[in-house]
A and B are shown apart, each in its own frame.
Chain A
Amino acid sequence: MTETPNLKYLDDLAQGDEGFRKKFIGILKEEFPSEKQCYLDAMENGFFREASEHVHKIKHKLNVLGVHKSYSLAVRHENELRKGGNKYHMDFLSVLSEIEAYLKTI
């Protein structure tokens, strides 16, 4: 991933509301690993269609975290999974790992 996740969107949205900022980061920290695990499980079982649903949810978070190239990759990956292909899986895995690592820092 050549781009760094950031909280610019969140800060704009929060408008100084620290309570919301904390709450939202909490949601990201809780929801992202669970979505990642669901995605991995679906891929492991070859359920590409189901995996695409999880990618769909994850891609919104990529946008929220300002990683737009990764978002584009997720869009392509979601479409490919719907068609039964998984050629972006490894690239997407790398994005997931980067995001997971970032979420541990905030």
Chain B
Amino acid sequence: MWQEKVLFIVFAVIAIASALNILLQRNPLYSALSLIGTLLSLSALYLTVHAQFIAAVQIVVYAGAIMVLFIFVIMLLNVPKDQPQIEKQKGLRYLAIPFAGLMIAEMFYVLRPIRLTTLPIQSGNAEQAVGTTWSIGTALFTDYLLPFEVTSVLILMALVGAMVLARREGD
């Protein structure tokens, strides 16, 4: 399986490089494009563990829909090319360091049990494999039905909220 290892390393490097590029670029459009690069290479990483459904959905939803909206907004607002105005508050900057440390520690704590787990070996039976349409659909509508429905209600609330805020008086 050395081919998958090679592919994994290539796309992992691209993902991290473009993730760094998001932070380093001053132009918001370049940052958004780097984010698309990260999302596409993440999708390729999902493919290396045979999670085709997640890989496709990653592109359809994130790279194809959400990021198009980001770019749409950036183009509409047409941010000047030189450095955008960032409120520079010295106090907040020093507060950011402990918070970042806390976040990283939290991430490692959550990922700790997953670290040593290996994915089950994909058998010939495509329907039972992890990450396919069948397995994700079954999991979503049986074991995780409540979280799934709660998430959809949350998204609906966000939608209605956005509509209320954006609606002009007198319409």
Indicate whether A and B interact. Answer: no
